[in-house]
Chain A
Amino acid sequence: MPDAVRIALVFPSLLGTYGDGGNASVLAQRLRWRGVEAETVDVAVDDALPEQADVYVLGGGEDTAQTLAVSRLADGVLARAADAGKPVFAVCAGFQILGETFLDGAGAVHAGVGLIDCRTDRLPGSRAVGELLGEPAVDGVVELLTGYENHGGRTLLGPAAKPLARVRSGTGNGDGVDGAVQGSVVATYLHGPALARNPALADWLLSKVVGDLAPLDDSEEQELRRERLTALRRARAAWWRRQWRPPARGT
């Protein structure tokens, strides 16, 4: 176990549009609360990605930021981290750019970093915006995964990547699953941020660095999760009510 766990937040100015920088803070705090030293490093766009970090976190971003981020990630640091089994956690645009290809702002196919066997094009129809709920599809996470999605991309996984969750409500990747797991690289469309809404997922990532973790009092997170699941159930019930039109009253 390293002395202090270093969590690199990759290019927050480019990949930080939806509060996803919070994922790094969550990881660091959950270590500190257990007496493990942790530091977060915000990696600026014109700085090189540090080789010595233990965890790498990427968030969502806008179209033009995506292509810039890919060009800055071409130095191989992230690929070596993944090869070494260090957790790389990527959300939304961060997920898309770690794949083989994605579409840039102009709709042209752009090569990604290639850490995940997936390709991203456009969802048919409108953007996926709203609560996203998934059943985890990986060993070691049992709690439902909850968050908020806001994206126009559809991401299809190749054989080397496995989904992170099966979608119960919402869109996710666009074919019934959400996210990807390939080696130590974990990706999702969940914002919220994902690790604040899903402490079990945060601890699962941390356990890859520091081994087994003592439980924490997550009552506030659990309260938030319950409230979100209830809100989702209510919204779905309201939707079904709207589909059902009362028959016209007879004369």
Chain B
Amino acid sequence: MTARYTLARAAGATAAGLSRLTGRGGGTTIGGRVTLLVDPLAMTRAAAGRELALVTGTNGKTTTRTLLVAALETREPVVSNGGGANLPTGLTAALTADRTSRLGVLEVDEPFLPKVAQAVRPRAVVLLNLSRDQLDRYAEVRRLAGIWHEALSGPAAPAVVANADDPLVVWAATGATDVVWVAAGQGWTFDSTSCPACGDVLQRDGQRGWRSPGCGLARPTPAWSVTGRTVTAPDGTSYDVKLGIPGDVNVGNAALAAAAAGLWGVSPAKAFDAMARIPSVEGRYLETTYSGRPLRLLLAKNPAGWVEAIGMSRAEAPVVVAVNARAADGRDPSWLWDVPFELLRGRHAVATGERSRDVAVRLRYAGVDHIRVDDPADALRAAHGSGPIEVLANYTAFQSYRRVVRDA
């Protein structure tokens, strides 16, 4: 351990503490930033001697990270990064704050995978999916698949646990020597109609198969398969996966986490058992009550996530659709028209958030009975009936609702 690193870690901890004291936030990011300023190699040094798994992809990073942490903690303590701090600063802060855990699971923002993998030399990388995210942040998902591909190729590359159902992920992982394929599903095929390798139009067989006639890239045979809530492990044993969090998509995420945990010798039975005890993930899927009514908060950050969230919501419950368009959400909410809100027909909806007027117009054309309410708490009171309410919100609108529910 170098003197510079010791100093950097202390400086980061001081900055984080000051930031918390002055009420400027959790301090994670500023602490990590200071540490990296003092010692640019701090992330590498903080990772030394640990066995790390990195989790990345457009959707499900936080959930899959949480599931994998639960599985690995059946063995020993695990260091991890919460609160969406998935840039190098946040990763550095998480690693420097926990000096004892030998195992670690870190979620990484998609474009940073190469940089982080090079710095921390992980034992495993879990690739979930790739689809369009906030439009004005990462214009081309194919470019991301390309930089993953480059980062994961070569003899020193880590073991890869990858979703065999997502062509972009498969192409990104094809350069790796050691890949565990998991049929984790793909609800959103809109961003993978052409082959990421050669540009030819992908042929799909109506099941889950797909193939590029141009270069032969095709869905690999998965070692782990998922059908509904049943996960079949490589040895042929099937597990009925009962999670505390909703959604078929999360069964796919659980299968990916179990496959990764298997690299550390955790059995699927033990892994799924640990995952079943997670009721919510950083406020997501949280079941609570508001003015005596059951309420659930579902986060959706992009069209694929919205399709998942609508699918998770209880069909009889009214829906509050909350959308902002701040920098973290993407400034342009025209993605609302990529989401099949027609699925909400027959249910009552309340449009809210800073871009509630965009939502209202979208719901009008989708033929969904709705009203528009500015205030998020008023929006809950405006939901029809007296039964459960589902709140579907994008990133910063979701944070507002966490406060509304907490202050209630």
Which residues from chain A sit less than 8 Å from chain B, CB to CB?
Answer: 12-14, 16-22, 25-26, 29, 45-46, 62-65, 68, 129-130, 148, 150, 191-193, 196, 220-221, 223-224, 227
Contact = CB atoms under 8 A, between A and B. Distances in A.
Contact of A148 (B132, B140, B334): B334
A115 B338 CA distance: 27
Contact of A16 (B139, B338, B360): B338
B193 A13 contact: yes
20 contacts: A14-B194, A19-B335, A21-B338, A22-B334, A25-B365, A26-B365, A45-B193, A62-B140, A68-B194, A130-B331, A148-B331, A148-B334, A150-B136, A192-B334, A193-B337, A196-B337, A196-B365, A220-B361, A220-B372, A223-B357
A68 B372 CA distance: 41
Contacts of B361: 196, 220-221, 224
A127 to B, nearest CB: 9
Interface in B223-257: none
A16 B69 CA distance: 37
Nearest to A32: B367
Nearest to A149: B332
Contacts of B360: 220, 223-224
A208 to B, nearest CB: 21
B119 interface: no
Contacts of B357: 220, 223-224, 227
The 5 A-B pairs at the shortest CB distance, nearest first, are namely A22-B337, A19-B337, A19-B334, A13-B193, A224-B357
Contacts of A26: 365
B201 interface: yes
B121 interface: no
Interface in B132-158: 132, 135-136, 139-140, 142
Interface centre among A12, A19, A148 (most CB of B within 10 A): A19
Contacts of A64: 142, 194, 199
Contact of A29 (B135, B335, B336, B365): B365
Contacts of B362: 22, 196
Interface residues of B, number: 28
B356 to A, nearest CB: 9
B142 A62 contact: yes
Interface of A is mostly: mixed
Interface in B171-217: 190, 193-194, 199, 201
B364 A220 contact: yes
Contacts of B365: 22, 25-26, 29, 196
Contacts of A221: 361
A227 B364 CA distance: 17
A150 B338 contact: no
A191 B332 contact: yes
Contacts of B193: 13-14, 45
A62 B139 CA distance: 8
A134 B125 CA distance: 48
B358 interface: yes
B358 A17 contact: no
Contacts of A14: 193-194
B334 A18 contact: yes
Contacts of A12: 190
A148 B332 contact: yes
Contacts of B337: 19-22, 25, 193, 196
Interface string B343-379: 0000000000000011011101111000010000000
B219 to A, nearest CB: 18
Contacts of B190: 12-13, 16
B287 to A, nearest CB: 31
Given A14-B193, A45-B193, A227-B357, A68 B338 contact: no
Interface string B308-347: 0000000000000000000000011011111000000000
B366 to A, nearest CB: 8
A156 B340 CA distance: 36
Contact of A65 (B194, B331, B338): B194
Contacts of A21: 337-338
Contact of A18 (B135, B201, B358, B364): B135
A212 to B, nearest CB: 22
Nearest to B141: A62
Contacts of B136: 129, 150
B338 A191 contact: no
Contact of A19 (B199, B201, B336): B336
Residue of B142, B201, B332 with highest tally of chain A CB at under 10 A: B332
B166 to A, nearest CB: 15
A68 B135 contact: no
A202 B364 CA distance: 15
A11 to B, nearest CB: 9
A191 B330 CA distance: 14
